[in-house]
Amino acid sequence: MVTQARDLEKRAATLKKVKEGDVLEGTVSGITPFGIFVNAQGLEGLVHLSELSWDKVEDIGAIYTVGNSVKVVVIGLSDGGKRVAYSVKRLQQDPWSQAISKFKIGDVVDGVVQKVVPYGAFIRIGEGLNGLIHISELSDKLVKNPEDIVKVGQEVKVKILSISSTERHLGLSLKASSEVSSQKKLNKEELAEAIDEAIDLEIK
């Protein structure tokens, strides 16, 4: 009872001074399928699954265990402090801000197939940065099953067709990247032929 009373006092004291946007040091107090509970200065709150990382989190237990130290930012206080929402990812740089400066439409980049769905494949091209190859952009030929073209874990080269920071969406193409590679190869062959012709003319 004494310990519980002290915890309540500590929570009340923290509530008086904490506000949204504050960064706190805490400890993981619980793990659930939908996120982790963090106790920061006596104020326990939830870091929802969507607020753990800019990347998709498949297995929370592989990242956190009860007792881990974690830094969080307060993103919500409601019901007089009975409900507290924290975020971990908002203390990290948003990969989309990097994408805008690093990539441009037309770039051919390396990626890894993360997931294959009936309408295409999701590709990871950087930490927290994923894009979609629509089924129509997988091949010049008609594709009925995307898994006939790509597999999860496969490394691919893709061409960026569109970048939408508002929708946080990258439109990618596998077939267009192949066309670019073929064109580069063709250009090299044309250059070699031109050099050979120039040498022949010089000899003559």
Query: Contact 55/128 with Cβ under 8 angstroms?
Result: yes
pLDDT (tens digit per residue) in 118-140: 999 999 988 778 899 999 999 99
Asked if pLDDT for residue 188 goes beyond 90, the answer is no
Burial code (b: 16+ CB inside 10 Å, e: under 16) for 121-147 equals bbbbbbebbbbbbebebbeeeebeebe
Bigger pLDDT: 27 vs 99:
27
- Lookup result for tokens 């129509």: 136
pLDDT (tens digit per residue) in 58-96: 899 999 999 999 999 999 988 776 789 999 999 998 888
Span 171-200, average pLDDT: 60
Average pLDDT, the chain: 83
Asked if pLDDT for residue 12 goes beyond 50, the answer is yes
The pTM assigned to this predicted structure is: 0.65
Bigger pLDDT: 11 vs 157:
157
Asked if pLDDT for residue 172 goes beyond 90, the answer is yes
> Cα 162 to the chain's mean position, in Å?
17
Q: What domains lie within the chain, and their CATH numbers?
A: 2-91 (2.40.50.140), 95-195 (2.40.50.140)
Q: For position 202, what pLDDT does the model report?
A: 47
Bigger pLDDT: 164 vs 2:
164
